[in-house]
Amino acid sequence: MKQSIVVRAVDIGEGQDPGFVAGAAHLLQHLVANGAAIGWVEPPSTAEVAELLQELCLASEHGDASLLSIWIGADLAGLGYWRRYQRPTNRPNADIEKVAIDPRYQGHGLGRQLVRQLIGTAVRAGIEVLTLDFRGDNERAARLYRSLGFAEYGRLTGFVAVRARRYDKVLYAMDLRHRQDDGSRKDLIGQAVERGRGSG
Ligand SMILES: CC(C)(COP(=O)(O)OP(=O)(O)OC[C@H]1O[C@@H](n2cnc3c(N)ncnc32)[C@H](O)[C@@H]1OP(=O)(O)O)[C@@H](O)C(=O)NCCC(=O)NCCS
């Protein structure tokens, strides 16, 4: 892809900007209308997406969420976010609730970049365990998350209802307590430094 790719945090001003809200709503509506498994059976209304964006931007001001957008030039190519768990005993942890790449831009590494950056913002926010879940038939998502280091910790058979159909809900997690800001593993970096010292 020749045009520049930019990943950035959505702040409260942008989250309320009607142009951004309309673009985000269109992206999510289009994906759901074409069968994407991102938690909606019917495409969400623009008002529902606006409310979600506002909630996320407010939460991100307090370190309780991270909403990232990915841009190809002036085009909104994707969105993703994590949010802290609300239960007091679970609050050190967060859940990646949605990752969505515009179908025009899928398969070019954008999903990978977005999730990598979400791991980075989670590490910097001090999140201990990052979880996510996806529909059992979403092999593309499974491969992406596994390749970034997430591991399956559970599966609920036939839990996801899309009209009369039932799909598994697959649960993945990544422990960030041993990760650097960029998502790489501290212990491996430590070993490399040690090896470097030993040979010098
Ligand atoms: C799942 C999704 C986020 C992946 O984003 P993407 O930009 O298309 O993926 P990338 O190009 O970054 O590829 C990342 C990895 O995904 C997997 N992948 C991508 N396209 C694939 C395909 N057609 N078949 C199988 N695996 C595929 C591969 O493991 C790939 O890594 P590799 O290229 O090193 O082999 C995107 O397809 C999407 O938005 N899908 C609809 C919404 C959704 O399902 N979201 C995730 C559930 S929460």
Q: What is the CATH number of the domain that holds 144?
A: 3.40.630.30
Q: 119 CB under 6 A from ligand 1?
A: no
CA nearest ligand 1 atom 16, residue? 144
Q: 116 CB under 6 A from ligand 1?
A: no
Residue 184, pLDDT score: 67
Q: Is residue 80 within 8 Å of 99, Cβ to Cβ?
A: yes
Q: 167 CB under 6 A from ligand 1?
A: no
Cα(16)–Cα(117) distance, rounded to whole angstroms? 22
State the burial class of residue 188 (Cβ atoms within 10 Å of its Cβ: 0-12, 13-18, 19+).
Answer: exposed
CA nearest ligand 1 atom 10, residue? 109
CA of 3 to the centre of ligand 1 (A): 20
Computed over every residue of the chain, the mean pLDDT equals: 92
Domain that holds residue 107: 5-199
CA nearest ligand 1 atom 27, residue? 140
Above 90 in pLDDT, residue 141?
yes
CA of 101 to the centre of ligand 1 (A): 9
Closest to 54 in 3D by CA, of 65, 43, 41: 65
* Residue 54 binned pLDDT confidence (cut-offs 50, 70, 90): very high
Q: Is residue 131 within 8 Å of 106, Cβ to Cβ?
A: no
> Into how many domains does the chain fold?
1
Chain centroid to CA 200: 41
Residue 181, pLDDT score: 67
DSSP 192: H
